[in-house]
């Protein structure tokens, strides 16, 4: 009886710790639609665990500059797909594909980046395909159309 009780407590403990940890890696907070942001300017690239972050400026429909943040995989996972800690630098003009936050916040899950020279860097969850609908274009003309 004691062994069974200990086993139940052990299982309960594993589930209490394991389920929240696995929930962290879900994509429920992000839209299923992919949004393309053309000619955006990188403001920060954080090469850090548990997720790298790309912050960038784009313009909304009224021309107001909005700072967005897109998370990706871990540095080690990105390294396996061709990234390094200097892949992006503040001031770089890129095209970025993001599954935006359902909440409407200027944030999302990065899927792919296209550098000004046409180099494509995908995330660990696979490369993106061009979006079915719309996108944003900051209007600079740089960094777009290099696919």
Residue 46 has pLDDT above 60, yes or no: yes
Region 134-146: mean pLDDT is 41
Dist CA 71 CA 129 (whole Å): 18
Q: How confident is the model at residue 3 (pLDDT cuts 50, 70, 90)?
A: low
Stretch (H or E) spanning 55: strand 53-59
Inter-residue contact 105 to 68 (CB < 8 Å): no
Q: How confident is the model at residue 93 (pLDDT cuts 50, 70, 90)?
A: very high
Count CB-CB contacts under 10 A for residue 136: 20
Q: For domain 35-137, give the CATH number.
A: 2.40.50
Residue 23 has pLDDT above 60, yes or no: no
């Amino acid at each position: 009886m004691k062994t069974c009780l200990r086993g139940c407590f052990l299982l309960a403990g594993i589930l209490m710790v394991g389920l929240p940890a696995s929930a962290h890696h879900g994509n429920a907070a992000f839209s299923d639609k992919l949004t393309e942001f053309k000619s955006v300017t990188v403001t920060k690239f954080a090469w850090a665990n548990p997720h790298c972050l790309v912050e960038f400026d784009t313009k909304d429909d009224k021309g107001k500059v909005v700072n967005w943040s897109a998370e990706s995989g871990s540095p080690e996972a990105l390294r396996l797909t061709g990234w390094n800690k200097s892949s992006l630098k503040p001031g770089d003009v890129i095209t970025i594909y993001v599954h935006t936050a359902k909440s409407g916040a200027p944030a999302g899950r990065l899927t792919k980046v296209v550098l000004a020279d046409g180099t494509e860097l995908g995330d660990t969850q696979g490369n993106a395909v061009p979006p079915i609908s719309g996108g944003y274009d900051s209007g600079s003309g740089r960094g777009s159309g290099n696919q």
